[in-house]
Amino acid sequence: MERVNAFAPVTTIENESRADSAYRQLLAYIEEGDLPDGSRLPSETELVSTLNLSRASIRDALARLRAEGRAISRKGSGTYAVRDASPQLMRLSAIGSTQDLVDWHEFRLALESEAAALAAERRTDSDLAALEQAQSRLVAKLATENAGTEDAAFHSVLAACSHSPKLSDALGRLTAHIFRWSKVTRDRGILTLGERREVITLEHGGIIAAVVDRDADRARAEIRRHLLNGRARVLGALGGEH
């Protein structure tokens, strides 16, 4: 793909991780390059060669872009750029209060519950493998870090298993919107890394098991349990703040 050579010269940022470097360069490629909205991005192999970074770093960067609504993956086709991160489908207002968080979370809860149910009904074996791999990467990263990017990636893969592109796209944008705001609460240490790893293992594990069994009702219930438990922890930490 010819556009693969259009990346700007690499600039070094002190203490920047390889995944962050890949993300920064890919985001600049999308935002500042001449490629039209919806253009196919270079393959992972091309990106590894062009950016001189590992495949794991490239995958982390692509997962983050998908979670933020800056890229969309299409099964069997590749990853495509999203130049406009605020389409008419999803006008995201600012989250500036506890009530804003509750309102947006309720919307996310409704969408992701149905996405999980559809994932259970429609998933393929390769979808299931991707979901289990996303969970494995998340749990592994939680041994040392908060793993916000990997968590977003898991939810992105789950939505992709629904084979509903519009629903998957909307959830990617909405999830990132809430994650940016809730980083403040994560920084307060609501859960230790060990506690968070235990919760993710249990609750995501329940979601995966329902998808494995093609049990749509159980998948819907498991994702609701996971999201409502998380919301309760956040609101409990915020207390009466508005």
Q: Quick one: pLDDT band at residue 223, thresholds 50, 70, 90?
A: very high
Q: What is the mean pLDDT of residues 146-157?
A: 84
Q: What percent of the chain has pLDDT over 70?
A: 77
Report yes or no on 88 lying in a domain. Answer: no
Residue 87 has pLDDT above 80, yes or no: no
Residue 215 has pLDDT above 70, yes or no: yes
Q: HSE of 201 in the Cβ direction (CA atoms, 13 Å)?
A: 11
State the total domains in the chain: 2
Q: Please, is 26 exposed, middle or buried when counting C-beta atoms within 10 Å of its C-beta (0-12, 13-18, 19+)?
A: buried
Q: Can you say whether the dihedral through the CA atoms of 102, 108, 111, 114 is positive or negative?
A: negative
Q: Residue 111's Cα: distance from chain center in Å?
A: 15
Report yes or no on 65 lying in a domain. Answer: yes
The tokens describing 111, both together, are 């969408």
Q: Are residues 64 and 139 in the same domain?
A: no
Q: Are residues 155 and 54 in the same domain?
A: no
Report yes or no on 36 lying in a domain. Answer: yes
Structural domain range at position 11: 2-81
The DSSP H or E segment spanning 1 is: none
Q: Are residues 55 and 132 in the same domain?
A: no
205-to-74, 131, 139, 163, 167 alpha-carbon distances in Å: 25, 10, 11, 21, 22
Q: Are residues 218 and 130 in the same domain?
A: yes
Q: Quick one: pLDDT band at residue 235, thresholds 50, 70, 90?
A: confident
Q: What is the mean pLDDT of residues 199-223?
A: 97
How high is the pLDDT of residue 185? 57
| Contact of 217 with 117, CB cutoff 8 Å | yes
How high is the pLDDT of residue 178? 66
Report yes or no on 189 lying in a domain. Answer: yes
CATH of the domain at 66: 1.10.10.10
